[in-house]
Chains A and B, each alone.
Chain A
């Protein structure tokens, strides 16, 4: 019994430590311009007004930032959902020369830190004329070893006889892929799609490098707009960060089990 109470206390404490900063961000988003200089900024908002949420749109084109984030993260996710199952299926169910070395090379890219690719990628974008374009934001992230690996793992136990039966019936390979393989991959597609979207929605470094004009900025960059040495307007910044935060929260609440399963089976980062 004592252990049971202690357990709830400990879990509760952990939940407070992990959850409080998010609550505080919400509280700060309601603070007035003078309250952000209080010690501390009120933990319980003294008023629940939407002024700050209305004001951010005048400060910077947040609608455009939001749209850009949506376009970039959405396109990258779509590309993953096309390329990753194709490759994963091939690596799981086809025999051909060079299969295993190719798969190992792709897995090996997991060992490559982004910083090793960053500078040449930037140079490449400049050569292609892709700086400050959607192509430059999207194409370099079109696939990943994680997605391919997960698709392959998911496809491995699937009986090859069913695929061969389709072939004997005269189905084309594309037909087999679309009608037999893709329906099998449901949960894997969900996991890869969700993770890719969240990861790219949150991405900061690459948009920071390749975008240079206001109309190409993504939301993560837009948030730093309020950050100025000495007189950061925390209330506006907190309000604006809700734009970045809420879509992920909704997505997470809707599909929590996919996130947890995805990590547990593949160690997605």
Chain B
């Protein structure tokens, strides 16, 4: 491939341009094969699987059923409830982790002692496996022996079934998921804050604006692109939450924490309905895609300044 002399008799001289193009394709081949095999093919297969019934797939006992799986899904009350639950879950996680992440970023934005240490501590949960986060919070949430209930006990309140109470279990998952994501949001917000030119603050101060006004009318609008990105990432991350449900609640009590992702897994790998689960996964993708596009549309008008 390197500067070999052109083959004798070849009309076109061996140009740099051609060498570059050849190299490009050569270097890209492994990557393209990877994306074709492990993204392209699975995505196509998922849609194909969605048209088949039962456990088998494509000519091995599976029956082509057309859009039946999608029709069933539209009337599957359990699945629809889990979609609603997932939206509520994501909204809850965003509502907690985005403002908290911004708050922490504002606190750590200017020089102070031990700043790097504090930043590391706040960021670290995000680096930790969700398995560990789930196990630790499981200990904290225990009804009989848990530390959170001990704190309630100290102020004279009765024990609460953090993971066993029908109305509370989902919120408990929201809380620990938000806790795990705050550090990530904080780092993004810190980067966003650093990128705001100090002239804006100087100008606002000259005009006599107080801290709150500066935050409301300078920081927040200039931070809008970051905020958009944080909300989007937070949304994508939380809508795919699985590990915490698997480890902490298995979707219980009485489906109260059964997120859509968990239901897809359950349908495929516990109930062995690959076709139906594939259809569910495709709907999940469509939903995520639409909401992302809507977020983009909605924010583009807001973000311009």
Contact = CB atoms under 8 A, between A and B. Distances in A.
A124 B179 CA distance: 36
24 contacts: A15-B118, A22-B128, A22-B136, A28-B139, A36-B145, A41-B139, A83-B31, A89-B27, A95-B17, A97-B21, A116-B285, A120-B43, A123-B45, A139-B38, A167-B16, A175-B2, A205-B242, A208-B246, A227-B247, A238-B136, A253-B120, A260-B123, A263-B191, A269-B236
Contacts of B46: 116-117, 119-120
What DSSP secondary structure best describes chain A's contact surface? Answer: helix
A123 B57 contact: yes
Contacts, number: 262
Contact of A113 (B27, B122, B239): B239
Contacts of A48: none
B interface residue count range (under 10 / 10 to 19 / 20 to 34 / 35 or more): 35 or more
A112 interface: yes
A39 B145 contact: yes
B274 interface: yes
B170 interface: no
Given A117-B38, A227-B135, A248-B129, 17 more contacts: A7-B112, A19-B121, A21-B179, A24-B147, A28-B139, A37-B145, A115-B284, A117-B39, A119-B278, A120-B45, A167-B3, A172-B1, A204-B129, A253-B120, A256-B120, A260-B187, A263-B191
Which has the most chain B C-beta neighbours within 10 Å: A21, A205, A259? A21
Interface of A: 7-8, 10-11, 14-15, 17-19, 21-22, 24-25, 28, 36-41, 43, 83, 86-87, 89-90, 94-97, 99, 102, 105-106, 109, 111-124, 139-140, 142-143, 148, 167, 170-175, 177, 198, 201-202, 204-205, 208-209, 220, 223-224, 227, 232, 234, 237-238, 241, 244-245, 248-249, 252-253, 256, 259-260, 263-265, 267, 269
Contact of A87 (B20, B31, B124, B274): B31
B28 A87 contact: yes
Interface string B1-41: 11100000000000011011101111110111011001101
Contact of B281 (A24, A116, A245, A248): A116
B85 interface: no
A113 B150 CA distance: 39
